[in-house]
Homo-oligomer: A and B are copies of this chain.
Amino acid sequence: MTSRTRRTDALSRERIVEAAVELLDSAGESGLTFRALAERLATGAGALYWHVANKGELLDAATEAVVSVALSTPPVSGDTPGERIRAVALGLYEAIDRHAWLGAQLATQFARNPLNAVAPRIWESFGRQVRTLGVPEPAWFHSTSALVNYVLGAAGQNAVNAGGAQGRTGDRGTHLDSVATAWERLDSESYPFVRAVAGQIRDHDDREQFLSGVDIVVAGIVAVHGRVL
Contacts and interface: CB of A to CB of B under 8 A. Distances in A.
Interface stretch (A15-23, A42-50, A179-187): A179-187
Interface in A145-199: 145-146, 148-160, 175, 178-179, 182-183, 186, 190-194, 196-197
Contacts of A209: 141-142, 145
Contact of A140 (B112, B142, B193): B193
A222 B216 CA distance: 9
Nearest to A208: B142
A63 interface: no
Nearest to A110: B157
A179 to B, nearest CB: 5
B115 A178 contact: yes
Contact of A220 (B128, B182, B220): B220
A143 B216 contact: yes
Nearest to A214: B146
A102 to B, nearest CB: 11
Size band of the interface chain A makes with B:
35 or more
A91 interface: no
B146 A217 contact: yes
Contacts of A197: 123, 127, 140-141, 144
A204 B141 CA distance: 9
A155 B149 CA distance: 8
Give the residue among A137, A145, A183, A200 with the most B Cβ atoms within 10 A.
A145
A142 B223 contact: no
Interface string A109-134: 01110110000100110011001000
A104 B115 contact: no
Give the residue among A112, A152, A212, A220 with the most B Cβ atoms within 10 A.
A220
26 contacts: A104-B111, A107-B107, A107-B111, A108-B108, A110-B160, A114-B175, A123-B193, A137-B196, A140-B196, A140-B197, A140-B200, A142-B209, A142-B212, A146-B150, A146-B212, A146-B216, A149-B150, A149-B157, A150-B153, A152-B156, A152-B157, A215-B224, A217-B217, A220-B220, A220-B221, A222-B223
